[in-house]
Every structure is written in structure tokens, then in C-alpha cells.
Amino acid sequence: MRLTLSRSFRLLTRLLLVCLIAAGCDVVNAPVNQDLLGRNILLSSYSETPKHLDSVASYSNNETPWTYAIYEPPLKYHYLKRPYELVPRTLASMPVTTYYDKAGQPLPADAPGPSIARSVMELRIRPGIRYQPHPAFAADDSGRLLYHALTAAELEGKRAPGDFARSGTRELVAADYAYAIRRLATPRIESPAFGFLSEHITGLKAYGERIKQVNTRMKEGLSAREAGRFGHLPWLDFRQHDFPGVEVVDSHTLRISIDGKYPQFKFWLAMTFFAPLAWEVDAFYSQPGMKARNLTLDTWPVGTGPYMLTEYTPNHRMVLARNPNFRGEPYPCEGEPQDKAEGLLADCGKTTPFIDGMVSVIEKESSPMTAKFLQGYYDMPQFERGEPGTSMQVAIDDDTGRARELVAHKIKLPSTLQVGLWYYGFNWLDPVVGAGRTPEEAERNRRLRQAIAIAFDFEEYIQIFQDNRARPNAGPVVPGLFGSETVKFNPQVYDMVDGKPRRKSLDEARRLLAEAGYPDGRDAATGKPLVINYDTQGVGPGYKARNDWTSKQFAKLNIALEIRNTDYNRFQDKMRKGAAQFFSWGWLADYPDPENFLFLLYGPNSKVKGDGENTANYVNPEFDALFEKMKDLDDTPERLSIIQRMSEIVQKDGVWLFGYSDEYTGAYQQWLTNGKPSNIIRDSLIYLRLDPKLRVEMVRQWNAPHPWPLAWLGAGLVALIVPAWFAWRRRQRATALAGRIG
């Protein structure tokens, strides 16, 4: 191919463009517009589009970053204090509880739990709290709501609340909380909290059945398509349907009635299941044509919180903006002893929120998310998720190349233990590892479980798979909760040596195994090898390595392990049927109270018989009786003593290998302050503070143009122009010579 001088220059121009792009590749890689870097907007990512933002159904941790910023339950957790402390959110003060006997007579505050037939909590709401601007509240001068009888033509082109010309607001009242609690019973969207709460809130279960009948009557005369998932049903107005468990006393006073005594109910008041819902909003979204346009509470929630959702593009990005009607809240002035030294009290008393909003972009893969975080384009890799921070902390501990970058960028990685645990369990219904049918069989099975517990070296597991960023548990109550300090170690698995617990020897485990009837891992009666079936879930190299490790623990005792790895749905089905023999499971606390862990071993909460969370189907009459007593007690020495005894019972029975609690690590850029990670506190956005000026400076520094493209350009110039110049000179000489000859 001939190369002319002009073509060479055209090619060099293209090369120059490529070089310029390469030199400024930070613009190409940025997940957000560059002008956002200088604004008081938090930049983060999420890995999965939330399924539910409706407070009735929302519960998953990929939903809480949005719901807790928008909705306001009556209570919240103090941001800095540990152990966790409940404080008012929309209430003027903490709820006041009055106890009543069967005759309806009031009882003293220290009345024994069995004597209490009903507990009534009174909630006083602060006046002046207002909802975010929303078209559901828009009204004309006469008070007539503008958008509650929309035609198909009027809905044309409407895909978001911001598409409506007008919006409005109103004050939060007690009736809004009552409406939301009644709506928990709706059959139109499943609430994961209804089943449990219906066992406690007076009359809620019967009310749920009544609402089902109301909903059925509303379907009468409608076709299957009209009444189906993609059809439309008339608005179910919960103002018209009440029940005695929820009473509106006046505009700012609500009473909730609880059957018996249930002190843990206060924790539920900090969850978005108890967020208020204005009837106007429910009616607005219940109009024909709304669902087809994704105009629902699942996509466009409405609350009184510090932020409101202004952009929701599934599988792309979500945007929160400051709620202009939010009243402001003072930043806390108390915390843990180290909080002051760590700068977490510097904003004491100042009005929150500090940040104007949040832009979150979907990142389905961790590698590009981390890369963009290290470039400075994300202030947090994922909002309210601990996995990215933990992996970065591991990288630092391992002193990798990435570790040096993290240190150089002054990335902050504070950690705390999650209020949760990972454990291995034995199915109490299984004839080999379970309760046993006779006292003799029960004792043999118990010794088998104890032998396995000794062989299971969780210290090694934590070192290998958690990079020492976890803590083994001695019992079912995890560190940081009331009662956990009473259980220092598990005497069935450890001996106390020089004041420290030391795992019992494998010889001791083998002795117990022989006493169980399996000397050297073989059935003493038949001579057949002992085989334990292990049900688990998950695929990939990480799961295989963990399964291999689990097999090795059993191999220490010459016990064969049959691994039955299935997907999560199949695994769940096997657990519901009680088909698993040995299994692994995890639990993150709904609320920070020992009852929320001890109920995992409460007999009536059996997975098979009660469809509860007792996955081991464990039954122990003494444990169950103590649980019934413990759950009704406040945090007193008596409760502490009961928790200790309950822990001793399950330690001896060995129904669980108590596993470990892993770390929850936050990841914050140097310009983001007030970060304190927690898997319990979900409304942290309001407390964070940004320095956008520093962010812009660091992003420019970390993504400065590289000099290599210019050097490459120079080399290209030499490689192309010089040969082209010599070729052009040869052609010029040849042409001149031809002219002379001619």
C-alpha cells in the first residue's frame, strides 16, 4: 500500500486523538458526570436492584439503603452508642407501656410476665413533622386533591412523581402509623413481618383473615386477568377497616396493644414495617394505570425522612435528594470511649443531614467497583455493605500491591463484629445425630455430636477463610449483646488452661466417638463406616474449598462426609421437610437482643413443625421453659442468669457447632467522615459528611494524564514521517529523471 505524506498526517491525527483519550482515560472510566465530584453528593454503587421499596414488604439489605433514608419508623438506634440503644425518631419521647391483667386492671411495671394479659404502648408523635413533596398531596385552593381521579390521557407520559406539575405535603399524624400497621395485613403484597407480628399485636391475626375476605369481595365480577397480577383492583382503603390492637387517641397519639408481655416489641418500632403511610399516597398509587407505569410504592416510596427518591432507573442508577420538608436532627454528642479520638464527635449538636443526596450506580462485578473506588469516583464502594471493606482490609493484611494503593489513598476501614453468626447444625429429627428415641440413644447421639464439635477447628477455619477477621462463638448469644459476657467458653469443646480456653484433644474426641458406638468411625454393631450427610448451598471455588475443609474435619475421626450441594431454593425445601442431617446456616439479627438468637433454638419455632427459624428442629423442655420466662424479662440479673443456663443446656446438647461471628468493615474515602459501620443501624446517611473540594483534588491527582501517550506519539511520528519523507523524495527524483529522459 502506498503511503503518501498527506495520508501519513491524517493517520497521525487519528493517533493523536487516541493518545489524548488514553491520557485522559479517567473521564472514560468515570461512572458519574464529572460535575458531581464538586457537589455535596455522596457517590456510591449497588449490586442488585431492590425488589421492594414498599415498607410493608421491604426487608432485604439491598433495599434498606433507600427505605431507611426515606421512611421514618417511630424509633431508631443511637448512631454511636454500643451496646445499641433505642432512641425516638418521630416520637417526642420513648413509648410508655402499661400492663393489664385478664380483668383489664392495670398492673405495676415489675409485674411477673405470666400475670400480664395485655401490654399497651402509647406513642406520642412530635408535632410539625411533614412529608416530602409529592403529587399525592397536591390540592387546589379548596383542598380538593388534584391527582386522585386521573384519566388515561392525564397519565400519558407519567413515569415518575416528578412528571406531575404540582406537588404538596401535610403533617405526619398518628392515623398514618395506624394505617400502615393495618396495611400489614394486605393480601396484595406479602409482608415478611405479618406472620410474626400477628402472634403479638392484639387482634391482628383475625384482622388479616377479615381483610382477605374484603379483598375477595372486591374481586367479585372481575375477570381472572383483571383480578390477576397484571390487572387492577379497586383501592383497599384501610381507614374503613380497623381492629382493637391499634387505636388512634388523638392526632399525635397512638396506642398499640400487645398480647401478654413482649419487651422486644420496641425493637420492631425501629423497623420500616412500622413506617407511616399517608392514605393519600396509597390511594394515589392505587389508581388504574399506575402499576403499568411503575408508579407504585415499590418504586417510588413516600416518607418524612431526610431524603426522597428522585431517580429510579432499574439496573442503572438510583438518586436520593434532600427532602426540603425535613426538620433536621442534631448530630449525637455521646458514643463509645474511642469515638472522640476517632473524630466521630466533632459534629456534636450540629444539624443533620450534612449531605445533599446520594447517587448510586449499579456495579454487578466487584473488580470494576473497587477500581472506581480507588480512582475516587465512589465515596463508599457500596452503601451499607461490609463485604467490599472486608476484602480491602484483607488485602492490607496480606500486603498486596492493592494494599499499598489503599494506604497511599488514606482509605479508612473501620471494623466491628456483626450482630450475627454462621453455624453448623444437627437435625434433631435425625436418628443418627438427633435427639434419639430412648435415653440410651439420646446419650450416644449426644456424645457423637460432642466428638464432632471438638474436631471442628473453627480457629483454623477463621484463619484460612476469614483471614482472622472473625471470632469463634462459645454459645448462641453473639458478642456485644446482653448475656454474651456470661458465656466465656464452651466446656464441652474446650478446657481452661492458664486462664485461656484450649480445644480438647482429638484423643478425647475419639473416646467420645467410641462411647457413641462408632469406634474409629465404624458402627460397632455392623462394622460399616459412619457416613454423615452434609447439606449446603452455593457453587464455585470458594464453596468447594470450604466443603473440602469440612470433609477434613470429619476425616480426623475417620467419619465419611457425603456433601449434598444444591441451590438455595432446593436447600430451603429440604430444610422445611427436615430432610437434612447436618447443615450450615447463618443468621443476622433483626434486632440486638439475645431473644433474637435464642429463639432459633426454641422448640415451638421448629422449621418442620412450626415453619419457624429453629432450623435444627431442636426441642428441650427445660430450654423452652426458660425461653418463655426470659423473653418477658427486662435486662436484669435474673435474665442474665437464665441466659447463662440456656447457653449451658445447648452447649451440653451440642445441637449446634456455634461457628463464628465475622467482621463488618466499612470503606470510606479520606474526604468522607463520621462513618461508623454497623449491620444494625440502617439510617447512617444522615450522619455522614463530605468534603467535595478535597474529593475533586484527589480525583485529579489520582487520575492525572500519563506521559506515555506523548512518548508513543513521538515514536509514531518518527516511525511514520521519516520513511514517508524518504519515499516522497525518491518519487520526486524519479519524476524529475523521467522528465529529463522524455
Q: 231-236 contacts: CB < 8 A, separation 24 or more?
A: 232/288, 232/289, 232/291, 233/188, 234/286, 235/282, 235/283, 235/286, 235/287, 236/186, 236/188, 236/211, 236/286
> What phi-psi label fits residue 78: left (phi over 0), alpha (psi between -120 and 50 degrees) or beta?
beta
Q: What is the mean pLDDT of residues 644-660?
A: 96
Could you tell me where the DSSP H helices lie in 114-247? 152-155, 174-183, 194-197, 204-219, 224-227
How much is the pLDDT for 719? 60
CA distance 118 to 98: 8
Helix (H) or strand (E) holding 157: none
Q: What is the mean pLDDT of residues 388-417?
A: 83
CA distance 601 to 687: 37
Q: Which residue has the cell 466499612?
A: 666
CA 620 to chain CA centroid, Å, is 32
Q: Would you state the cell numbers that stand for residue 659, as one nine-digit string?
A: 461457628
| Higher local confidence (pLDDT), 731 or 667 | 667
pLDDT digits (tens, 9 = 90+) for 94-142: 999 999 999 999 999 989 889 999 999 999 999 999 999 999 999 999 9
Q: What is the mean pLDDT of residues 19-38?
A: 66
For 21-30, 64-73, 282-291, 333-342, which range has the lowest pLDDT when averaged over its residues?
21-30
pLDDT category at 487 given cuts 50, 70, 90 is: confident
Q: What is the mean pLDDT of residues 464-490?
A: 90
pLDDT of 679 above 60: yes
| Structural contact between residues 87 and 333, judged by C-beta atoms closer than 8 angstroms | no
Q: What is the largest CA-CA distance in the chain?
A: 130
CA 692 to chain CA centroid, Å, is 28
Q: What is the mean pLDDT of residues 245-272?
A: 97
CA distance 438 to 215: 50
pLDDT of 504 above 70: yes
Average per-residue pLDDT in the chain? 90
Q: Would you state the cell numbers that stand for residue 674, as one nine-digit string?
A: 463520621
Q: With pLDDT > 70 as the criterion, what percentage of the chain qualifies? A: 90
Cα dihedral 486→491→493→497 (10° resolution)? 100
Q: What is the mean pLDDT of residues 617-621?
A: 97
How much is the pLDDT for 738? 46
Name, in order, each residue with C-beta under 8 angstroms of 616's C-beta and a sequence gap of 6 or more: 425, 426, 427, 428, 601, 607, 655, 656
Q: Which residue has the cell 467458653?
A: 489
pLDDT of 18 above 50: no
How much is the pLDDT for 33? 86
How much is the pLDDT for 710? 53
Could you tell me where the DSSP H helices lie in 376-438? 387-397, 401-408
pLDDT of 717 above 60: no
pLDDT of 603 above 60: yes
Angle in degrees, 0-180, between the axes of helices 637-653 and 621-630, rounded to the nearest 10: 160
How much is the pLDDT for 741? 42
Measured in Å, how far apart are the chain's first and last C-alpha atoms? 28
How much is the pLDDT for 325? 98
Q: Would you state the cell numbers that stand for residue 161, as one nine-digit string?
A: 412523581
Q: 3-class DSSP state for residue 251?
A: coil
Q: 566-571 contacts: CB < 8 A, separation 24 or more?
A: 566/535, 566/536, 566/537, 567/537, 568/537, 571/535, 571/536, 571/537
Q: What is the mean pLDDT of residues 698-720?
A: 69
Query: Beta-carbon neighbour count of residue 60 at 10 Å?
Result: 13
pLDDT of 723 above 80: no
pLDDT of 74 above 80: yes
Residues found in the chain: 742
Q: With pLDDT > 90 as the criterion, what percentage of the chain qualifies? A: 73
Q: What is the mean pLDDT of residues 533-547?
A: 83
Q: What is the mean pLDDT of residues 11-21?
A: 47
Name, in order, each residue with C-beta under 8 angstroms of 522's C-beta and a sequence gap of 6 or more: 528, 529, 530, 558
How much is the pLDDT for 132? 98
3-state secondary structure 439-496: HHHHHHHHHHHHHHHHHCCHHHHHHHHCCCCEEECCCCCCCCCCCHHHCCCCCCCEEE
How much is the pLDDT for 117? 96
pLDDT category at 466 given cuts 50, 70, 90 is: confident
How much is the pLDDT for 694? 98
457 φ/ψ angles, rounded to the nearest 5 degrees? -90, 90
How much is the pLDDT for 32? 84
How much is the pLDDT for 70? 98
pLDDT category at 77 given cuts 50, 70, 90 is: very high
Name, in order, each residue with C-beta under 8 angstroms of 596's C-beta and a sequence gap of 6 or more: 264, 267, 589, 590
How much is the pLDDT for 720? 57
What helix, strand, coil percent values describe the chain, rounded to 5? 40, 20, 45
For 136-145, 271-280, 583-592, 724-733, which range has the lowest pLDDT when averaged over its residues?
724-733
pLDDT category at 566 given cuts 50, 70, 90 is: confident
pLDDT of 21 above 50: no
How much is the pLDDT for 228? 73
pLDDT of 396 above 60: yes
Q: 3-class DSSP state for residue 85?
A: coil
pLDDT category at 567 given cuts 50, 70, 90 is: confident
pLDDT digits (tens, 9 = 90+) for 298-355: 999 999 999 999 999 988 999 999 999 999 999 999 999 999 999 999 999 999 999 9
Q: What is the mean pLDDT of residues 13-30?
A: 50
How much is the pLDDT for 616? 96
pLDDT of 735 above 60: no
Q: What is the mean pLDDT of residues 43-49?
A: 92
pLDDT of 53 above 70: yes
568 φ/ψ angles, rounded to the nearest 5 degrees? -65, -40
Query: Beta-carbon neighbour count of residue 53 at 10 Å?
Result: 22
CA distance 650 to 538: 28
pLDDT of 722 above 90: no
| Higher local confidence (pLDDT), 332 or 62 | 332
Q: What is the mean pLDDT of residues 685-713?
A: 84
Edge-first strand listing for the sheet containing 246-250 = 106-107, 96-100, 118-124, 253-259, 246-250
pLDDT category at 721 given cuts 50, 70, 90 is: low
Q: What is the mean pLDDT of residues 437-466?
A: 95
How much is the pLDDT for 26? 44
Q: What is the mean pLDDT of residues 488-504?
A: 93
| Higher local confidence (pLDDT), 376 or 729 | 376
pLDDT of 9 above 50: no
Name, in order, each residue with C-beta under 8 angstroms of 655's C-beta and a sequence gap of 6 or more: 425, 426, 428, 449, 601, 616, 618
CA distance 334 to 339: 8
| Higher local confidence (pLDDT), 388 or 334 | 334
How much is the pLDDT for 671? 98
| Structural contact between residues 453 and 654, judged by C-beta atoms closer than 8 angstroms | yes
How much is the pLDDT for 527? 94
Q: 3-class DSSP state for residue 651?
A: helix
For 78-92, 303-317, 461-475, which range has the lowest pLDDT when averaged over its residues?
461-475
How much is the pLDDT for 2? 41
pLDDT of 215 above 80: yes
pLDDT category at 618 given cuts 50, 70, 90 is: very high
pLDDT of 22 above 50: no
